[in-house]
Structure 1
Amino acid sequence: MPKRIIKKYMPDPKKLQEQKSLRFLGKLLEDPGLLHLTRRSVARAFMVGIFFAFIPVPFQMVLAAAGAVLLHCNLPISVGLVWLTNPITMPVIFYGTYLVGAGLMGVEAQPMPDELTLEWLSNLIQDAWAPLYFGSVVTGLVLAVASYFGVHLFWRWHVNKSWKTRHDRPRPPKV
């Protein structure tokens, strides 16, 4: 079951409270719900983590941690999902959100170059920050809501499948 696999990698609550990067949350980290693996907690964590993964700002993990604390959802999952936008995937994802924003705003999008350079990226941000951020927020919201409901559906499907498997299992004869 996925819950057992996830539980194996969950951090110790004491170590979580000792993290320097999370100290700004103070007493809020003492909420035991931040490490629970329930359908609602995990679905909210997906919503928070995926939303902040698509927002091109520094310290996405800190924002995801703050969002997880405010919504009382699973902290490690929401922070871990921010890594969907890592240095390898970031250019492609943010260019895609830029295209979404440009399309929604009616702005002509700049084409993607043959070679990705920091100079091209800095020019794109200077010239197209509004479509980039607008597209990022729209894409982040859409995917966050979709992941929230997707986790709920997957969780229910998995529980129903487990119950059916348990019900269909042959029982030992009564003696």
Structure 2
Amino acid sequence: MAKKTIQRFLPDHNKIKQQKSLKIFGKLLHDANLWHLNRRSARGAFSVGLFFAFIPVPFQMVLAAALAIPFRVNLPLSIALVWITNPLTMPPIFYCSYLVGVFALGQEQQPFHFEASWEWLAQSLTTIGPAFIVGSLICASIAAVIGFFGIDYLWRRSVNKAWQNRGQD
């Protein structure tokens, strides 16, 4: 059940292999383990994908792929989960990350007004930047751990339920 549900939402692996941004990985993308979906590869992929979803850097998909390859976890799932932070969800997620950082560092909340300029970015790196980065790392780590154990639990539960239903038939 869990496997079928996840596979429904995954993109075709041939389309992923053809992505220009992933060409840097070359023949590493031909490892069959990166495309199989089982409990081990799914829980690792959830962990990798959710971690990079909360990290505020460009090229999150490439970073998720770069970590999925050596860990040999499901590559399409790792890349797809990065899109939890998309243009609609990014502001509230990153604001919550900032609040977590403020709490973790024991700082006062700094008032800020977003401006799309290099000056604002440079100035905010010194004021809200440390709390935002620390908060993002904390949220990314927590999301990765919850994703790892959460999908593992759901996968086991799904398999147990399938075995129970199999015995009733």
TM-score range, shorter chain: 0.7 to 0.9
Amino acid at match of 2:108: E
Structure-2 residue corresponding to 1:26: 26
CA distance in 2, matches of 1:82, 1:106: 29
TM-score computed with the length of structure 1 as normaliser:
0.85
Q: Greater RCO between the two (CA within 8 Å, min separation 6)?
A: 2
> How many pairs are equivalent?
166
Structure-2 residue corresponding to 1:164: 164
Amino acid at match of 1:33: N
Q: CA RMSD in A?
A: 2.1
Question: Shift of the alpha carbon at 1:12?
Answer: 4.5
CA distance in 2, matches of 1:140, 1:48: 9
Overall identity of the aligned pairs, in %: 48
Alignment of 1:118-157 (within 5 A): 118=116, 122=121, 124-125=124-125, 127-157=127-157
CA distance in 1, matches of 2:38, 2:50: 18
CA distance in 2, matches of 1:18, 1:167: 43
Amino acid at match of 2:42: V
CA distance in 1, matches of 2:8, 2:93: 30
CA distance in 2, matches of 1:162, 1:112: 52
Question: Shift of the alpha carbon at 1:111?
Answer: 5.1
Moved over 6 A (4+): none
* Rg larger in structure: 1
Of 40-49 and 11-20, deviating more is 11-20
5+ residue gaps, structure 2, are none
SS in structure 1 opposite 2:45? helix
Relative to 1, partners in 2 of residues 1:7 and 1:143: Cα closer, same or farther, differing over 3 Å?
A: closer
Question: Shift of the alpha carbon at 1:130?
Answer: 0.9
CA contact (8 A) 2:10 2:80 kept: no
Deviations along 1:109-137, one digit per CA (max 9) or x if unpaired, are 13587xx7647x84655521111111101
| Alignment partner of 1:83 is 2:83 | yes
